[in-house]
Amino acid sequence: MKIVRLVFLIHFLKLLAAADESHPNWYLLDHDGCGESVSDKIIGGNVATLGQFPWMAQLGYTRKLFSSSTPRYKCGGSLINPLYVLTAAHCVSGLKGERMVRIRLGEHNTRTRKDCEDAVCAPPVQDFRPDKVISHEKFQQPAMRNDIALIRLDRPAKITPYVGSICMPRGQLMIQNFVGSFMEIAGWGVSKLSGVSNKMSTVLLHVRIPIIDKDKCREIVEDASMGPGQFCAGGDEGFDSCRGDSGGPVMRVEAFGDTPRYYIVGLVSFGPRDCGTDKPAIYTDVTKYRKWILDHIQA
């Protein structure tokens, strides 16, 4: 009887996933050119190679009273089509004394005006203003439920080998249980903690993290009352997301057809105060919000 119920549930979830792909806004996403990396290094290492994650966005903030000052980049995001960046709601909602004023695409090393590697140089970064910010209407703090948001850019991004969109989850990614498998995260977040001085990385970093069972996660993390739109990952000491990585993507490489592509399956949401410990962090499950994303993007 249990096997029959499980087969029925899997069939039902597949029907739901397929229904989203008939959504009228499904065509607004580039399913053929998304998730492509100009780097050969798909998995491994700490420093990302130039062009490895062309969908990575940096979100820049200024104090409300000093809006003309140079933005500080404190959150990440992912380009999902030329007009929209997907990020965490806490990166754009309830900001105390700050405003998000800039979205930067095509960045790699924040210290260099031109990013080059092995005599190959990327075009200059592309900077945008937020035309519209859409946070999930049921976003809740401090539990970080529904921690997801969309930013519409003030103009379309110019797609290049170094600026491109990540793929939206589809097929088996919508129903698969990833517990025990590894995902990849990337960002410019804190790489070293030294006393009270938190130093952000100047170069894009990436790391692989294991997905952890929710029940096990609740035993390790205090107040980890996760909802259906969240999952738990990490717990390998020295390998973690951290402050500054918020809103960035949790990624998985899949090949639907002949070409392996990067798919976004989660967003960095929140974790322990001390990063890189043996305590895992909590992430937003993008597969549970695909319809919400499609409902809120426009041509």
Pick the closest to residue 78 from 288, 293, 243 (CA basis).
293
Instruction: Return d(Cα 230, Cα 219) in angstroms, integer.
Output: 16
Q: Which candidate in 165, 246, 269, 285 is catalytic?
A: 246
Active-site residue flag, 11:
no
DSSP characters over 73-118? EEEEEEEEETTEEEE-GGGTSS-SSEEEEEEEES-SBTT-SS-EET
Instruction: Return d(Cα 291, Cα 19) in angstroms, integer.
Output: 9
Tell me the HSE value of 11 on the side-chain side, using a 13 A CA sphere. 6
Query: What amino acid occupies position 83?
Result: L
Q: Which candidate in 20, 30, 115, 147 is catalytic?
A: 147
CB 89 within 8 A of CB 269: no
Instruction: Return d(Cα 25, Cα 23) in angstroms, integer.
Output: 5
Instruction: Return d(Cα 179, Cα 186) in angstroms, integer.
Output: 20
Tell me the HSE value of 5 on the side-chain side, using a 13 A CA sphere. 2
Instruction: Return d(Cα 247, Cα 270) in angstroms, integer.
Output: 9
| Cis check: omega of the bond before 161, within 30 degrees of 0 | no
Left if phi > 0, otherwise alpha if psi is -120 to 50, otherwise beta: which for 45?
Answer: left
Active-site residue flag, 246:
yes
Active-site residue flag, 278:
no
Q: Which candidate in 37, 78, 90, 165 is catalytic?
A: 90
Instruction: Return d(Cα 204, Cα 130) in angstroms, integer.
Output: 22
- Which residues are catalytic, by number? 90, 147, 246
